[in-house]
Amino acid sequence: MDPNKKPVKVGLLGLGTVGGGVVNVLKRNAEDITRRAGRAIEVVHAAARRLDAPRICSTDDILLTTNPMEVVENPDVEVVVELMGGMRPAGDLIRRALELGKPVVTANKALIALEGGELFELAQSHDTLVAFEAAVAGGIPIIKAMREGLAANRIEWLAGIINGTGNFILTAMRDEGRDFEDVLAEAQALGYAEADPTFDVEGIDAAHKLTILAAIAFGMPLKFDEVYTEGISSLQQEDVAYAEELGYSIKHLGIARRREEGVELRVHPTLIPSRRLIANVDGVKNAVLVWGDAVGPTLYYGAGAGAEPTASAVVADLVDVVRTLTADPTHRVPHLAVVPDQLTDLPVLPIDQVKTAYYLRLQAYDQPGVLADITRILAEAGISIEAMIQKEAGEDESYLPIIILTHQVVESAMNQAIEAIEALGTVRSPITRIRVESLAG
Ligand code: HSE
């Protein structure tokens, strides 16, 4: 067997929320991940604080230990994934892995923000690397977007909602009038919050992430100690309400901005106009708005915390690392994301097989039974109505506008129904039809 095609063996430090998510995603999407990385990726050895703790993943094929250094030192382990969090022992474990020349993937924002510079030097001197996409904004690939996608730009500023727990709390306080403590407890139960939740609500977690974002945006060293940090714990309900009245939303933002004299690095509650897209980022979602001189503003949005969103970023880093371990550096990132012999031909569905909901606007003759005819035709075609409005006819008009929103249906069924309605003779042709996408889930 080509040694470059053997599965890559991964050692996992931490089997909690994110660790469990990584194991599950690697297993569930094994086939696609192998096609993209060019090799299978297998977790072979994992360290957990307690071996008998309840887990969200199966550990059937994984050797378990309570000693994380054992995982790092295991000669079979080629890549180390650190998901324990905290400064110690995580930092020492990563340092040892790098000294052994093993690439490291980590979600540890505190460690990167405080000691990243030293870790990157160590990695470079041992001809290896530290990948940390999951350290900022959970599942949003913001580091890749800034480091690669925006590489042409001079980034002037960025502003982000980069703590999911804080945003979750602010949203529930605003929409449900709930107490700060009550919502925080829920965020902890859902696995969003840090081990020490004051990191979330006092802005320290956001400051860690802002430090990393600013370093990448401006090509500057990591300066966590110089970030101005204000939390949300003293925010009053009435300020949230008054801000709304004035057309503003209060968000806990991390802001990095170039000035002639230097850079601003700050985390604090901020009023932003409610019409801005970023003002509508609610719940545990994160978003980062980046302003580059060539591209202008770009906005990145998604889940900023939780098992699988964070695992999404960790596994993406793993795929990147595995690509660097293959023999063909020129084609490190395949043109179409999967290695060339793994492309699969998928049929593209014709439009009449597409499934979508519809907005219909009909001009119906104002006489008894017309609406019943229309709804009967829709019912016979298996089309369910979500909402309906009948407007008054204009003066001298014998036709009434009827607006119907339907549930999802296959396009061919809708075509037949529209044809049948148009054939009634009591509805003007053509019926206006616009497809509806909820874009949810
Ligand atoms: N506690 C963090 C948050 C987890 O709420 O955003 C993800 O870094």
Q: Using CA of residue 44, residue 50, residue 52, residue 57, what is the dihedral sign?
A: negative
Query: How are beta strands 296-303 and 248-259 bridged, if at all?
Result: unpaired
Continuous segment of H or E residues that includes residue 189 = helix 180-189
pTM score of the predicted model:
0.89
Give the pLDDT score at 395.
73
Instruction: Indicate if 338 and 399 belong to the same structural domain.
Output: no
The contacts of residue 315 (CB under 8 Å, 6+ apart) are 22, 25, 26, 29, 33, 41
Query: How are beta strands 385-390 and 355-365 bridged, if at all?
Result: unpaired
Instruction: Indicate if 12 and 135 belong to the same structural domain.
Output: yes
Can you tell me which atom of ligand 1 is nearest the CA of 310?
7
Residue 191 included in any domain: yes
Instruction: Indicate if 264 and 334 belong to the same structural domain.
Output: no
Query: What CATH number does residue 272 fall under?
Result: 3.30.360.10
Q: Is 209 tagged catalytic?
A: yes
Residues with CB under 6 A from ligand 1: 138, 163-165, 192-194, 200, 205, 304-305
Tell me the best of 163, 281, 282, 314 to mutate to test the pocket of ligand 1, counting ligand atoms within 8 Å of each CB and taking the most: 163
Helix %, strand %, coil % for the chain, to 5? 40, 25, 35
Cα atoms in the 13 Å half-sphere on the side-chain side of 167: 26
> How many other C-beta atoms lie within 10 A of the C-beta of residue 212?
22
Quickly tell me which residue has 């991940």 as its tokens: 33
Could you tell me the distance, in angstroms and rounded to a whole number, from the CA of residue 136 to the centre of ligand 1? 9
Give the pLDDT score at 200.
95
Residue 175 included in any domain: yes
Q: Which of 5, 6, 27, 209 is flagged as catalytic?
A: 209
Instruction: Indicate if 359 and 272 belong to the same structural domain.
Output: no
Query: What CATH number does residue 96 fall under?
Result: 3.40.50.720
Residue 1 included in any domain: no
Amino acid 59 reads T
Residue 441 included in any domain: no
- CB distance 101 to 76 below 8 Å: no
Give the pLDDT score at 330.
74
Beta strands in 281-370 (DSSP E): 285-292, 296-303, 355-365
Tell me the best of 84, 106, 165, 169 to mutate to test the pocket of ligand 1, counting ligand atoms within 8 Å of each CB and taking the most: 165
Instruction: Indicate if 187 and 239 belong to the same structural domain.
Output: yes
Tell me the best of 106, 161, 205 to mutate to test the pocket of ligand 1, counting ligand atoms within 8 Å of each CB and taking the most: 205
Give the pLDDT score at 333.
76
Residue 3 included in any domain: no
Instruction: Indicate if 135 and 146 belong to the same structural domain.
Output: no
Residue 407 included in any domain: yes
Query: What CATH number does residue 377 fall under?
Result: 3.30.70.260
Can you tell me which atom of ligand 1 is nearest the CA of 109?
8
Instruction: Indicate if 269 and 326 belong to the same structural domain.
Output: no
Number of separate domains in the chain:
3
Instruction: Indicate if 121 and 154 belong to the same structural domain.
Output: no
Q: What is the DSSP string of 156-177?
A: EEEEEE--HHHHHHHHHHHHH-
Instruction: Indicate if 321 and 221 belong to the same structural domain.
Output: no
Residue 348 included in any domain: no
Could you tell me the distance, in angstroms and rounded to a whole number, from the CA of residue 199 to the centre of ligand 1? 9
Could you tell me the distance, in angstroms and rounded to a whole number, from the CA of residue 408 to the centre of ligand 1? 35
Domain encompassing residue 41: 8-139+307-342
Give the pLDDT score at 255.
95
Could you tell me the distance, in angstroms and rounded to a whole number, from the CA of residue 311 to the centre of ligand 1? 13
Instruction: Indicate if 406 and 360 belong to the same structural domain.
Output: yes
Instruction: Indicate if 67 and 23 belong to the same structural domain.
Output: yes
Residue 238 included in any domain: yes
The tens-digit pLDDT sequence of the chain (441 residues) is 455 579 999 999 999 999 999 999 999 999 999 999 999 999 999 999 999 999 999 999 999 999 999 999 999 999 999 999 999 999 999 999 999 999 999 999 999 999 999 999 999 999 999 999 999 999 999 999 999 999 999 999 999 999 999 999 999 988 888 878 888 899 888 888 888 889 999 999 999 999 999 999 999 999 999 999 999 988 887 888 888 888 989 999 999 999 999 999 999 999 999 999 999 999 999 999 999 999 999 999 999 988 999 999 999 999 999 999 877 777 777 788 788 888 788 898 999 998 999 999 999 999 999 999 999 999 999 999 999 998 887 776 889 999 999 999 999 999 999 999 999 999 999 999 999 888 765
Instruction: Indicate if 334 and 406 belong to the same structural domain.
Output: no
